Amino acid sequence: MKIHDVIQVLLFSLVLQVFSSVSIAADGSAPSGVLNNEQCIQCHEKIDAVLTGQWRNSAHAKSKTLVDCVACHGAFHDSAAIRARQDQACIECHGGEKDPVVHSYASSKHGVLVKMEATQYDWTKPLAMANYRSPGCAYCHMYAAEHDVSVSVRQDIMQHSEAVQDTMRAVCTDCHAPRYITRLLENGEAMLEIARKKVREVDALIAQAATEFSEQQLSPIRQQRLKMQQHLVNVSLGAGHQSPDYQWWHGQPALDGDLLRIKGMISELRQQGQQ
Amino acid sequence: MRTRYLWVPLLIVVIAIPLGFYYVDWSKSGEGAGLYSRNWSPQEIFAYWNPDDFYESVDSVEGEFTGEQCVECHQVITPGVVNDWRKSRHSNPANDQPVVYCSDCHGNNHEGLHLPTPKVCGSCHAVQHGQFKDEKRYGFPSHSLALERAMDAKHFVDKPKAEVTACLQCHSVASKCDSCHTRHLFSAAEARRPEACITCHSGPPHPDDETYFHSKHGQLYLAEGETWDWSKSLSKGNYPAPTCAYCHMENGKHQVADKTIWKFGLKQVNPLTSGNQIRRKQWVKLCGDCHDQEWAAEQLRQLDAERKQSWEKLYEAESVLRDLRSDNLLQPAAKQRPPYPGDSPDTFLQYQRIGFFEGQASAFYNVSPMERDYFEMWYFDNLKSYKGAAHGDASFVKEGQAEMDHSLEIIKKNAERLRRANQVKVTDKEVKGNIWLEGEYTEYNWDNN
């Protein structure tokens, strides 16, 4: 831990002493020492059952590796909200800095602004009302303390989700004009649908090829199809996180490459069959 | 006798020149924009990337408003915008200058609002705008030509427009100053930092972000950058290590194109022409802010050597592909695949585009896997090595060169395989029921360009 971080934590705990009175007012005292998830839930169920309910509905609570209160907020009550509002709370579990999920955001305009300005932000403020110049992960995905992260993430990449778009629309409007948001959302969906077309084109080809060739022969084709899945995800991340690079070089042209390589492999198998 | 017929070429010139101008004008007058504007129509979102051609104001609110009135409403409707503005120099001008309100850049009439293009910003920031426009003299790559070159790219014209929106997000740098000075703070300090550039200058064809951050310059920035005084100008002595802008926009000059020698590494250039000798001197002088000038000149010579080595590999791969093309061995053949972007199926001469001057930049889809391998070798591996060499990142030079070697090996191996297979030579006949011409995306692209 750098000295800079230590000072930051100390400063934040000081600030929390001033600002945390609201959240603790329910029974008048904040618990001290190391806390576990059950202890958090026990209290917060009484204070804010909506919030704990949201978390129970979320992918965080339903995933095999449970992402509980402590995972994001840490084990100490001091600065618990401040810790969870910052991108560092999310990055490690979501694959680290180089993972497309994180990198597509980190290289977006929102991401680079947060990187440059994080130390100037007042992280004691709620994630709403444009309290932050640029949104971190939690600002959009846990807007106004929404603890069900799943409402802002599409469950099936092959399907359009109006609900997710509506959730995001409410967030973007803190800073962007309504018409701009609508057009951006529409365009993102159209861009993703084009990527889906490439995937469906390949799936139809593979389905046909599966009736002609053995699984062993198809193996390199299936491997290419697996890569294609990531490129499809990249388009979605690029549109969602507004990273031109993920929409494009890691996305659409990468899918074009998968498509033509799979066509090439199938053509060759067919030619070999004819000989 | 001879001068008697001088009027013939003169007349041709007199007719041809206006006709040429008329033709270019006519091509640009379509529903889209640029040279091929008659071949495509824009997505609605294009209004925000290319406002000059496509933006129309909302008409949901009527009336004329003063700057104060804009702020009053918008701090409720879009508080982030107003928060930003309040922190900006526009809202807190120095030396008794007037406050710059929303209406000064967007207009007063809510039904006739406009997006501030560089021209609007230039009405106050004339020096910067003049420098930015001056980039055009030096050609592409440059910020000020980025948008028109993107829209004139064959694949941009050919592909579905919702797909190529991605291009405009970066290439709109020509039409909006907030690509680097994000709205509505418009901070000079922000644009001085490398992060301001990396949303666009990243990814396989231009890993400027990675190569810079790997370099000693970038490592110093990552370790100490937080403590540097970013209010200072990009001039000698103000920063312990250079950022993107320190070198490419020295002294804050809004001109990134005047010093370019190797032109992004996309084609082979002679780095020693008289023009490039001047640019080399400019670089050496700039590096001389911190380094011995002879040492700096040697760095440029190493970059020349890296370029030469890369182009030897690229030309070798090109010649393998050209040989296959002349023996009709590339599969699918030109007539078995959708036509090259910008061509129609009955184009007189259909052939595979190999190499920069034949339009390699658009040859990344609807081509044979081998051509795509070459595309990646040229556009990804080659540029990885180039950017590594230019930014002082030895690891990317090594990786880029290794990847080029690997790609070349694969291209050669596949070429041998194709020749050995003794395939029936591809005839010019169109093949019915051909997978290269069918499929959900392929047909959609065909119908929606």
- Final residue before a domain boundary, out of A129, A153, A177: A153
Same-domain status, B440 and B311: yes
φ, ψ of residue B64 to 5 degrees: the values are -105, 140
Same-domain status, A136 and A198: no
Rounded CA separation B369/A224 (Å): 12
In angstroms, what separates the C-alpha of B185 from chain A's closest C-alpha? Answer: 9
Question: Which pLDDT tens digits describe chain B residue by residue (449 residues)?
Answer: 567 888 899 999 999 999 999 999 999 999 999 999 999 999 999 999 999 999 999 888 999 999 999 999 999 999 999 999 999 999 999 988 999 999 999 999 999 999 999 999 999 999 999 999 999 999 989 999 999 999 999 999 999 999 999 999 999 999 999 999 999 999 999 999 999 999 999 999 999 999 999 999 999 999 999 999 999 999 999 999 999 999 999 999 999 999 999 999 999 999 999 999 999 999 999 999 999 999 999 999 999 999 999 999 999 999 999 999 999 999 898 888 998 888 887 777 788 899 999 999 999 999 999 999 999 999 999 999 999 999 999 999 999 999 999 999 999 999 999 898 765 555 444 445 689 999 999 999 988 76
Q: Residue A204: which domain range?
A: 194-274
Closest by alpha carbon to A243, among A76, A98, A46, A108? A108
Same-domain status, A148 and A209: no
The structure tokens listed for B383 are 């540029």
Same-domain status, A137 and A54: yes
**Residue B222 domain flag:** yes
**Residue B430 domain flag:** yes
Name the residue of chain A whose CA is nearest to B48's CA.
Answer: A180
Closest by alpha carbon to B235, among B284, B290, B182, B277? B290
Rounded CA separation B278/A174 (Å): 49
Q: Which residues of A touch B205 (CB under 8 A)?
A: 249
**Residue A270 domain flag:** yes
Same-domain status, B344 and B437: yes
Rounded CA separation A165/A148 (Å): 15
- Final residue before a domain boundary, out of A98, A125, A153: A153
Same-domain status, B322 and B396: yes
**Residue B350 domain flag:** yes
Q: How many domains does chain B have?
A: 2
Among partner residues B165, B332, B376, which is closest to A187 by beta-carbon distance? Answer: B165
**Residue A114 domain flag:** yes
Same-domain status, A148 and A205: no
Same-domain status, B233 and B333: no
CATH code for the domain of B348: 1.20.850.10
In angstroms, what separates the C-alpha of A149 from chain B's closest C-alpha? Answer: 23
Contact yes or no for B60/B66 (Cβ under 8 A)? no
Same-domain status, A127 and A217: no
Rounded CA separation A62/A68 (Å): 10
Name the residue of chain B whose CA is nearest to A196's CA.
Answer: B441
Beta-carbon count within 10 A of A269 CB: 17
- Final residue before a domain boundary, out of A92, A120, A153: A153
Same-domain status, A253 and A129: no
**Residue B320 domain flag:** yes
Rounded CA separation B124/B132 (Å): 14
**Residue A173 domain flag:** no
Query: Hey, what long-range contacts does A215-220 have (CB within 8 A, 24 or more apart)?
Result: A217/A269, A220/A265
Peptide bond into A135 cis (omega under 30): no
Same-domain status, B432 and B319: yes
Query: What string of DSSP letters covers A121-190?
Result: S-TTS-S-TT-SSS--HHHHHTGGG---GGGGS-S-TTS--HHHHHHHHHHHTTTS-HHHHHHHHHHHHH
Rounded CA separation B22/A248 (Å): 35
**Residue A48 domain flag:** yes
Same-domain status, B431 and B302: yes
User: Crossing angle for the helix pair B293-326 and B369-376, nearest 10 degrees?
Assistant: 170
Residue with tokens 């992960």: A137
Closest by alpha carbon to B449, among B34, B41, B36? B41
Closest by alpha carbon to B313, among B390, B205, B408, B416? B408
Same-domain status, A130 and A55: yes
Greatest pairwise CA separation for chain B in angstroms: 82
Give the amino acid at B105. Answer: C
- Final residue before a domain boundary, out of B256, B285, B320: B256
Residue with tokens 């599966």: A210
**Residue B111 domain flag:** no
**Residue A124 domain flag:** yes
**Residue B131 domain flag:** no
Q: How many domains does chain A have?
A: 2
pLDDT in tens, A12-58: 444 444 344 334 444 567 888 999 999 999 999 999 999 999 999 99
**Residue B11 domain flag:** no
Q: Using CB atoms within 10 A of its CB, is residue B339 exposed (0-12), middle (13-18) or buried (19+)?
A: middle
In angstroms, what separates the C-alpha of B282 from chain A's closest C-alpha? Answer: 30
User: Crossing angle for the helix pair A178-210 and A252-274, nearest 10 degrees?
Assistant: 10
Q: Residue B214: which domain range?
A: 200-256
Greatest pairwise CA separation for chain A in angstroms: 84
Same-domain status, B314 and B398: yes
**Residue A256 domain flag:** yes
**What's this model's pTM, rounded to 2 decimal places?**
0.92
**Residue B372 domain flag:** yes
- Say if the Cβ atoms of A175 and B165 lie within 8 Å: no
- Say if the Cβ atoms of B195 and A249 lie within 8 Å: no
Same-domain status, A138 and A221: no
Torsion of CA B220, B221, B227, B230, to 10 degrees: 140
**Residue A164 domain flag:** no
- Say if the Cβ atoms of A247 and B202 lie within 8 Å: no
